Amino acid sequence: MSEPALPLDGVLVVACEQAVAAPLATRHLADLGARVVKIERPGRGDFARDYDATVHGQSSHFVWLNRSKESVTLDLKQPAAIEVVRRLLGRADVFVQNLAPGAADRLGLGPAELRRRYPRLVVCSVSGYGPDGPYRDAKAYDALIQAEAGLLSITGTEEHRAKSGIPVADIGAGMYAFSAILAALYERERTGHGAAVEVSLFDSLTEWMGFPLYYTRYGGTPPRRTGAHHAAIAPYGVFGTGDGGEVMLAVQNEREWRVFAAEVLGRPELAGDERFATGPARVRHRAALTAAIDEVFGTLTVKQAVDRLNAAGIANGQGREVGDVWSHPQLLERSRLSDVDTPGGPVAALLPPIGLPGRRPRMEPVPALGAHTEAVLAELSYSEGEVAALRAAGVV
């Protein structure tokens, strides 16, 4: 019995991509069945291949973002390489690029030109700040966007700002690009026409900054930097236990606060203490509240604290180290781990977040640089002699 088709089976994506944002979008397309042909520079490829060498000598970023893709090397500065891309685009459904500002237009791969040549093509451009405006040409690495979008000003402790531990601007842009491409493909089913969509890291992260932006504009002051605690709710944050562990707990309303004080802390009188009687009061007196919680939690193990919180119906989570997540019982019980091959050997992988009951997502190998160049050129009717000539000229 054949495997049921995935939603994007038969969709061809051509990607001139590098780093994180665009590769994340196209990997999610590949997870859902799309064929993704990744265009890389001869010799070095996507510079994310060199970010680190922790996964069997390979970059952790690249392994995460590039499974189930085909790698084709092309020097896009050469006209013969652009001709290869155009032949691919003649067959493609989607083109994704996150080249430097203006580079796609200079190569003849800008949205307007491609929409003219290929009316059914969905063209997705991912940039740092968008196609115009005073920051159009600015460098746009993830941490820089976090700074410009104000994220650093609300993240960290009162004394020190901190960037997010993961590239949130890149991830946000990648997910919006993924969503935009799906929407454009759906629209094409109705109209028969492709579309050009634009996604920027800055626009994506400022959208994610919605709560602090509104809080600051209409409240007059920005949310305080409170480390692992919530800026506007208390108690809501990480608390240590007597065995050296950590528990994240979240008390979000007055009923929960009364239950927490009585059943978890064993101090029902705290619920009536004027310092803690309301949400805003608990935030104002956070230090005293934290001291009261620490006094009790310091006598408990992580398990004892979690058991008390669960028995009282108080939302909580155990503070786990990154390495512990691979053995998280929720992942193991639901069989959320798989394996994929890489040039350096097989690696563990998480199944995609989008569940399709009865259908397995694509979990195919991470490609070696240029591993599919000759096969794709042959598919485009290049002869062996032509391929040899392209290789001799440094085009591939």
- The region, left, alpha or beta by phi > 0 then psi within -120 to 50, assigned to residue 156 is left
Rounded distance, CA 29 to CA 14, Å? 11
Lookup: tokens for 153: 């000003």
Nearest in space to 113 (alpha carbons), one of 67, 82, 142:
82
Rounded distance, CA 97 to CA 123, Å? 8
Nearest in space to 357 (alpha carbons), one of 68, 6, 1:
6
From first CA to last CA, the distance across the chain in angstroms is 40
Contact 6, 38 (CB under 8 A): no
Identify residue 340 by its one-letter amino acid code: V
- 230 in catalytic set: yes
Rounded distance, CA 15 to CA 27, Å? 10
Rounded distance, CA 8 to CA 186, Å? 11
Cα–Cα distance list, 377 to 70, 136, 267, 351, 389 (Å): 12, 35, 73, 31, 12
Q: How many residues does the chain have?
A: 396
- Tokens 């919605």 -> residue: 210
Catalytic residue, candidates 230, 285, 328, 372: 230
Classify residue 374 by burial, with Cβ atoms within 10 Å: 0-12, 13-18, 19+: middle
Torsion, CA 326, CA 330, CA 335, CA 338, rounded to 10: -20
Sign of the alpha-carbon torsion through 381, 385, 388, 394: negative
Beta carbons within 8 Å of 325's beta carbon, 6+ residues apart? 331
The catalytic residue positions are 230
